[in-house]
Structures are given as structure tokens and as C-alpha cells.
Amino acid sequence: EAQVTQNPRYLITVTGKKLTVTCSQNMNHEYMSWYRQDPGLGLRQIYYSMNVEVTDKGDVPEGYKVSRKEKRNFPLILESPSPNQTSLYFCASSLTGTDSYEQYFGPGTRLTVT
């Protein structure tokens, strides 16, 4: 089954404790992206990657890191989480090129930072 998976689905942590949220897709997509969803703000892009070893900042990159060492994986790293990073996070992937217009979303990771 074609899908985007994220782990963990729920995470409660404390300020300053490094964490990683994993994202993996099995559709051989070149493009992957991370979004955060906050009430009243919709989804905002954090980082995206057009292919292996190619990443770039989205609209709200501060406090986050990403890496793309393999095509299927795109982990989101919070080196020193803060309470304002409490949010619902989504990973997405898509093809690039002329048929690139649909993104497939993972189920989301709800992060709480206390």
C-alpha cells in the first residue's frame, strides 16, 4: 500500500530535550516536506527536500533541522524543543515534474513540549 508513515504519532517531551520525528514514504517520491498545523493558522511549511541531499527552508524553519540521506526518509529534528513548538506535524511527499501536483500526507505527529 502506498503510504507516508510518521513516528511517533504522539509525543510529550520537556523543553530542551532533543527529539526526532521520522517520516518515510514507499512511493519513490523525490519531493518531501514537513508542515506544522496550528489552530487558526492552517498548515505552514517548515522544510522541504527536492531529492537526496537537497533541502531548503519553508516558511517557519526556525528551531528545526532536517536531513535527506535516503530517498524514502526525511526526519525532522528538534535540537532544543520549546513550548512554542507544541503543534501537529505532518510529513508529505510527491513526485516532481509535470505530474507533481499531488502531495500525499502522513497521519500526523502530535507534539507537546512542556
- What single letter denotes the amino acid at residue 83? P
Which region among 13-21, 62-70, 72-80, 92-100 touches other proteins (by CB under 8 A)?
92-100
Span from 11-19, 20-28, 39-47, 67-75 in contact with other proteins (CB under 8 A) = 39-47
Q: Is 105 in the site for other proteins (CB under 8 A)?
A: yes
- Judged by DSSP in three states, 105 sits in strand
Query: Sign of the C-alpha dihedral, residues 52, 53, 58, 60?
Result: positive
Applying CB under 8 A, does 103 fall inside the site for other proteins? yes
Give the cell for residue 82.
520549546
Q: How far is the CB of 17 from other proteins (least distance, A)?
A: 25
The CA radius of gyration of the chain, in Å to the nearest whole number, is: 13
46 sits in which H/E element: strand 42-51
Nearest Cα residue to 106 out of 89, 94, 90, 86: 90
Tell me, by CB under 8 A, how many residues bind other proteins: 27
For residue 62, state whether it binds other proteins (rule: CB under 8 A).
no
Site for other proteins, rule CB under 8 A? 4, 30-31, 33, 35, 40-45, 48, 50, 58, 90, 92, 94, 96-97, 100-103, 105-108
